[in-house]
Structure 1
Amino acid sequence: MTTITLEQANTISAAAFAKGRDLGLKPLAVAVVDAGGHLISYQRQDGASIGRLQIASGKACGALFLGVSSRTVAEMAADRPTFIATAATVAPQGLIPAPGGVIVVDKDGSVIGAVGISGDTSDNDEACTLAGISAAGLSEQ
């Protein structure tokens, strides 16, 4: 497999939304991108605020841009704020230093895309991201 399929992206979104409902979270938005940061799918729950596309895709694409989860990007921002602020200005699809963006790999460990979720606390966003990836039978980096 070389990329996340649309069917897998839809499974990721559905499972992430189900996890969010189970946890009683605020309305979520899910962005699924391929390894090049191109949007495969974007879905938002009713009531999700206007900026969720940019934040969710920024979490996913920022993870790809730096090769680490957006949780690690947040840790990097605490340690090296100037680097992350500067990197954000050159990241083509954005860079959001907060948990919720996770790189997805195939069975051989090759990067096939990323998922970003926004809408609740960053830790809850990440929990839903991981639930969606798992439901699609994929693995995170």
Structure 2
Amino acid sequence: MRRILPLVLMFLLLAATVQAAEVKKQLPGDLTLAEARKVLETALIKAEAQGVPMNIAVVDAGGNLKAFVRQDGAFLGSIDVATKKARTARFFNMSTAQLGAASQPGKELYGIEVTNDGLAIFGGGELLVKDGVIVGAIGVSGGSVAEDTNVAKAGAAAFESVKKNK
């Protein structure tokens, strides 16, 4: 009996651990996959309307890739640029256009683009904010800076409408 009791207790502990692992919790300030998909889908519609193949990346609050799409014909080199735009916006809590303006020669952040394994400091990276908390960012690359920015802003606007409908 003394040998069985520790085994039973160990089994119950293991079962409780497995059950706790199966409970999926949404962390406060986290971007859900459904939200990331909505941002991505809306940005994709805008990219298609512009007629320019794009790479679109959505990152979570930690700057980790949450969703990504590369349209047929989009530049291969823009995969990295789109992802860096999203991460750059998230890392510095501002759009990449804003960071770019602050990093011009003679400005306070001149040279920042060489930090963090390289940053993207031109338009096309926008923040995703929920209830005043930054929960992610979108980065777009493949067209002109204006085209990339238009697509990123469309995705960010879709996020605004998703959170208001909840």
Q: TM (normalized to structure 1)?
A: 0.84
Report the Cα distance in structure 1 between the residues aligned to 2:106 and 2:55, rounded to whole angstroms.
28
Match of 2:36 among 2, 6, 9: 9
Structure-to-structure mapping, 1:51-90, within 5 angstroms: 51-80=77-106, 83-85=109-111, 87-90=112-115
Match of 2:134 among 111, 114, 121: 111
> Can you give the 5+ residue segments of structure 2 that lack an aligned partner in the other structure?
1-27
Q: Structure 1 residues 62, 23: closer, same or farther in 2, change over 3 A?
A: same
- Partner SS for 2:76: coil
Match of 2:121 among 67, 86, 97: 97
Q: Hey, what does 1:38 align to over in structure 2?
A: 64
Match of 2:53 among 27, 34, 38: 27
- Partner SS for 1:78: coil
Q: Hey, what does 2:45 align to over in structure 1?
A: 18
- Partner SS for 2:147: helix
Cα deviation for residue 65 of structure 1 reads 2.0
Q: Structure 1 residues 16, 111: closer, same or farther in 2, change over 3 A?
A: same
- AA paired with 2:133? S
- Partner SS for 2:104: helix
Report the Cα distance in structure 2 between the residues aligned to 1:73 and 1:138, rounded to whole angstroms.
26
- Partner SS for 1:117: strand
Q: Which has the higher contact order (CA 8 A, sep 6+)?
A: 1
Match of 2:143 among 120, 128, 133: 120
Report the Cα distance in structure 1 between the residues aligned to 2:84 and 2:106, rounded to whole angstroms.
19
Cα deviation for residue 68 of structure 1 reads 1.3
Q: Hey, what does 1:130 align to over in structure 2?
A: 153
Query: Identity of aligned pairs, percent?
Result: 32
Cα deviation for residue 96 of structure 1 reads 0.4
Q: Structure 1 residues 124, 42: closer, same or farther in 2, change over 3 A?
A: same
Larger Rg over CA atoms = 2
Q: Structure 1 residues 119, 100: closer, same or farther in 2, change over 3 A?
A: same
Cα deviation for residue 132 of structure 1 reads 1.5
Q: TM (normalized to structure 2)?
A: 0.73
Moved over 3 A (4+): 79-84
Cα deviation for residue 78 of structure 1 reads 2.1
Over the aligned positions, Cα root-mean-square deviation in angstroms equals 2.0
